[in-house]
């Protein structure tokens, strides 16, 4: 069953049934101001940091789901409805939501009155623009009343949901003309306020939630809307809101437009007030004047569309498979930009309160977006390096508002440092900009600066300096799998598995980190070689070979790679285990690192993955699922079988197997695995899959779950970057390298031809890949046979590239 369809020409997903299996959302914003919007108008906004600068309120895990947003209520002669169906839930004659790239439209019609809403955050603007169009399609004049609604959050999202004894007393607002200002705590410690305006004269307003809704009413039945009036209420504590009330006559065939704006303003300390206790509104007035007309709105929307056209224009394919094309050309790249902005911090599954920007997460996100905006990638790398500690370890997360490490979480996740080598190498391969290595960043945002090269060197040697009894890397609190907590031993309810270390020792080891060390250690070696640091490269290569030997002697279980050794030195992910005999992570990383390819172990490991881990909906993380709690393994054994890390399909790691399969020449198997988790191929089972059919989800329920194939945690997942990396660089084979762009496709047998346009280092490459038969692969550039990376010494060139494959 489907709830809409793709519109590839407009790069939109069109939802035609508001009752989606779960709210299907979109993100808006490209700078500091961001909004999340569901297909029925739910969602919230924030400035820079979803925890520390929450502008409007949302209630997670609410009943009913997705209540609260920037709503509009229409009273058409006593018939009350909302354009997005919610919150009123009056059945509409027609409904349509279009989620585009950084904008959304919602259109509803009832009794020949059509309402069309446009939501977006303009480029370089600290506010959201909402345009409302009302069209009278009837032959008679209509008397229409329009109420807007937004509920202010009291800035700190955690405090906003907990500290009611204070918060019920602090809410403050001002109203001037058609603008409602939220100024809670502004007269004391804050230098910022928010506002909600409309470019029309209003009949009235409300700023007190109880007055607008009625204390026992929900969003679906506001007392003021039902009564067809407003209270002109001024909030004093309790729960401040912003609601405009507009009365109008719409003649037959007439259309009226209104431009609403939700904005954020910061003032200098000595410019906070224009009069005693009256906020300085100069910056708000300037922002409002930028969007007084619909023409100004149209221009800003076109600029936003042009921004995304430029980003997505760096890679475009035509494969003959429309689902593959729309994912690679549009939705996968778009999702990669969203994960760059938010890491894993704020979505409809992440509250924006408990997590900041992840060190591991954000470094991985760069491999999915560096080709679109390398300047942003470079700055993110420097920001991340600045949270690294002097011994090479790193804070696991940092807050986007402060860019400082999150002390509540801390560090000691021993895979973290190696991801910095991945992002640095990906940036240099894409740009050829070696100056990044000389850029300066402090450790822990304090003290003397060090070069980025010094940062990645310390990342490399952090592993070397933290080896266990089998000469494999110590796991610390956890590696990539945050729920494999081999030093935690938690038996107290409420303890955090990620921050609790009840066992102190240097015994628990990770085979996955060992594979990572070889894979990204080789990148470190190449960087050293290409920058004439030959002694560094030789010393590093020695450590890499030692790690290969450690995996050979202590990391192989006979048919697959072990996952780890626990605190007691017992094997994890072994035939010797009753549960959790095989894990996906070490199979992926060891094979990607080249371990076992020459002697057949890699082939065995991937065969074991197919036999024991693959399902119709993707590859599960482990098998058999854990059915009881293991104190020595941690959180992974607390989930019911088939969910999350306990044998769920954790989509993030499936691309590692996809890449590994291409390295062994299993092209059809790689593409088969790709399609199993890629949302465009799952649209037809949306009622089961539940989450959006245009973006990846973190987790799909595994074969042991009650509902195999049901997804959760959409949008903010490393799956976006990794599956883009896998499909673009390994299946399609368009791979940046230090010396230029290389072409090495691993196309499935069903794909006979591929056309690619790739913009790379200032040049444009039109690449055609054909299966021509014969005994070898050949490459021609502008008609001349070519070997090695494609030419890229100059800029502004256009190259026509033909690659012929033997099969």
| Catalytically annotated residues | 482
| Residues ≥6 apart with Cβ < 8 Å to 615 | 649, 676, 702, 703, 708
Nearest by Cα to 340 from 309, 381, 306, 310: 381
3-state secondary structure (DSSP) of residue 313: coil
Helix axes 374-385, 359-369, angle to 10 degrees: 160
What is the maximal distance between C-alpha atoms in the chain? 85
Phi, psi of 122 (to 5 degrees): -60, 160
Of 317, 251, 341, 436, the closest CA to residue 28 belongs to 341
Give bridge partners of residue 421 from the DSSP assignment. Answer: none
DSSP annotation string for 258-285:
EEEEEEEEE--GGGSEEETTEE--HHHH
Q: Which residues of 530-546 are buried (b: 16+ CB within 10 A; e: fewer)?
A: eeebeebbeebbebbee
Of 366, 370, 348, 369, nearest to 357 (Cα)?
Answer: 366
Quickly tell me which residue has 């056209």 as its tokens: 309
| Residues facing 176 on adjacent strands | 179
Residues with Cβ < 8 Å from 175, sequence gap 6 or more?
181, 205, 207, 234
Neighbours of 313 (CB within 10 A): 14
| 562: Cα within 13 Å, side-chain hemisphere | 25
| Cis upstream peptide for 624 (omega within 30°) | yes
Contacts of 78 (CB under 8 A, 6+ apart): 228
Number of H helices and E strands in the chain, helices first, is 20, 43
What is the DSSP pairing of strand 763-771 with strand 397-398?
unpaired
Question: Given CA atoms 713, 716, 718, 722 in this order, what sign does their dihedral have?
Answer: positive
d(CA 768, CA 779): 10
Instruction: Specify the DSSP class assigned to residue 330.
Output: I
- String of DSSP letters for 58-89: --TT-SSTT--BSEEEEEETTEEE-TTSTTT-
User: Which of 768, 716, 753, 774 lies closest to 346, judged by CA?
Assistant: 716
CA distances from 685 to 39, 43, 246, 669 (A): 19, 25, 42, 22
Contact 765, 757 (CB under 8 A): yes
* Burial category of 798 from C-beta neighbours within 10 Å (exposed 0-12, middle 13-18, buried 19 and up): exposed
For 23-51, b where at least 16 C-beta lie within 10 A, e where not — what string? bbbbbbbbebbbbbbbbbbbbbbbbbbbb
The contacts of residue 456 (CB under 8 Å, 6+ apart) are 420, 421, 424, 524, 527
């Amino acid at each position: 069953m489907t709830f809409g369809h793709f519109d590839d020409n407009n790069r939109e997903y069109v939802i035609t049934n508001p009752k989606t299996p779960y709210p299907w959302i979109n993100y808006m914003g490209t700078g500091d101001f961001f909004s999340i919007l569901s297909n029925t108008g739910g969602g919230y906004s924030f400035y820079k940091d979803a925890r520390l600068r929450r502008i409007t309120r949302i209630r997670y895990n609410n009943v009913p789901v997705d209540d609260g947003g920037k709503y509009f209520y229409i009273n058409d002669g006593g018939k009350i409805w909302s354009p997005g169906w919610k919150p009123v839930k009056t059945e509409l004659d027609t409904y349509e939501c279009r989620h585009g790239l950084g904008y959304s439209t919602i259109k509803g019609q009832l009794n020949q009155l059509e309402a069309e809403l446009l939501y977006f955050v303009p480029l370089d603007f600290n506010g959201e623009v909402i345009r409302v169009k009302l069209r009278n399609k009837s032959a008679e004049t209509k008397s229409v009343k329009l109420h807007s609604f937004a509920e202010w959050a009291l800035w700190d999202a955690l405090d906003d949901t907990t500290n009611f004894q204070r918060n019920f007393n602090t809410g403050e607002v001002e109203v001037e003309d058609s603008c409602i200002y939220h100024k809670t705590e502004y007269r004391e410690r804050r230098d910022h306020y928010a506002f909600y305006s409309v470019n029309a004269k209003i009949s009235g307003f409300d700023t007190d939630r109880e007055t607008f809704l009625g204390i026992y009413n929900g969003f679906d039945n506001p007392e003021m809307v039902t009564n067809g009036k407003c209270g002109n209420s001024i909030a004093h504590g309790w729960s401040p809101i912003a609601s405009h009330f507009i009365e109008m006559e719409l003649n037959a065939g007439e259309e009226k437009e209104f431009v609403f704006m939700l904005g954020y303003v910061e003032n200098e300390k000595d410019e906070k007030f224009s009069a005693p206790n009256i906020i300085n509104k100069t910056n708000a007035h300037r922002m409002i004047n930028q969007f007084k007309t619909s023409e100004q709105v149209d221009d800003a929307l076109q600029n936003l569309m042009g921004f995304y056209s430029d980003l997505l224009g760096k890679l475009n394919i035509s494969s003959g498979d429309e689902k593959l094309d729309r994912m690679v050309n549009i939705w996968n790249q778009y999702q990669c930009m969203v994960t760059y902005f938010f890491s894993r911090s704020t979505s409809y599954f992440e509250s924006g309160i408990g997590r900041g920007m992840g060190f591991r997460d954000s470094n991985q996100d760069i491999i999915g977006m560096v080709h679109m905006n390398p300047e942003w990638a470079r700055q993110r790398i420097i920001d991340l390096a600045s949270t690294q500690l002097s011994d090479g370890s790193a804070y696991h997360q940092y807050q986007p508002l402060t860019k400082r490490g999150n002390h509540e979480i801390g560090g000691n996740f021993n895979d973290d440092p190696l991801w910095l080598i991945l992002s640095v190498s990906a940036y240099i391969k894409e740009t050829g900009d070696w100056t990044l290595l000389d850029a300066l960043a402090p450790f822990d945002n304090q003290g003397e600066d060090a070069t980025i090269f010094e940062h990645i060197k310390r990342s490399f040697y952090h592993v070397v300096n933290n080896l266990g009894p089998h000469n494999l890397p110590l796991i610390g609190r956890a590696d990539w799998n945050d729920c494999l907590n081999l030093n935690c031993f938690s038996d107290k309810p409420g303890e955090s598995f990620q921050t609790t270390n009840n066992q102190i020792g240097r015994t628990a080891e990770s085979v996955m980190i060992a594979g990572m060390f070889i894979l990204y250690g080789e990148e470190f070696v190449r960087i050293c070689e290409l920058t004439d640091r030959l002694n560094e490269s030789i010393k590093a290569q020695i450590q890499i070979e030692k790690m290969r030997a450690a995996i050979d002697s202590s990391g192989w279980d006979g048919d697959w790679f072990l996952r780890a050794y626990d605190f007691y030195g017992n094997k994890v992910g072994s035939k010797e285990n009753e549960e959790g005999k095989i894990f996906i992570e070490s199979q992926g990383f060891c094979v990607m690192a080249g371990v076992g390819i020459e002697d057949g172990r890699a082939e065995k490991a991937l065969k074991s993955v197919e036999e024991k881990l693959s399902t119709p909906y993707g590859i599960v993380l482990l098998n058999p699922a854990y059915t009881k709690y293991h104190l020595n393994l941690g959180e992974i054994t607390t989930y019911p079988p088939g969910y999350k890390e306990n044998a769920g399909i954790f989509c993030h790691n499936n691309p590692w197997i996809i890449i590994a399969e291409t390295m062994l020449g299993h092209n059809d198997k790689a593409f088969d695995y790709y399609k199993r988790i890629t949302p465009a191929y799952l649209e037809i089972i949306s009622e089961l899959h539940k989450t959006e059919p245009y973006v990846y989800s973190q987790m799909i329920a595994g074969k042991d779950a009650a509902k195999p194939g049901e997804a959760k945690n959409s949008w903010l997942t490393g799956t976006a970057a990794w599956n883009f990396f896998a499909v673009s660089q390994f299946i399609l084979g368009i791979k940046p390298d230090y010396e230029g762009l290389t072409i090495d496709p691993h196309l499935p047998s069903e794909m006979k031809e591929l056309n690619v346009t790739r913009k790379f280092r200032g040049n444009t490459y039109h690449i055609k890949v054909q299966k021509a038969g014969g005994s070898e692969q050949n490459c021609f550039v502008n008609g001349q046979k070519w070997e090695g990376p494609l030419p890229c010494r100059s800029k502004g060139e256009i190259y026509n590239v033909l690659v012929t494959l033997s099969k």
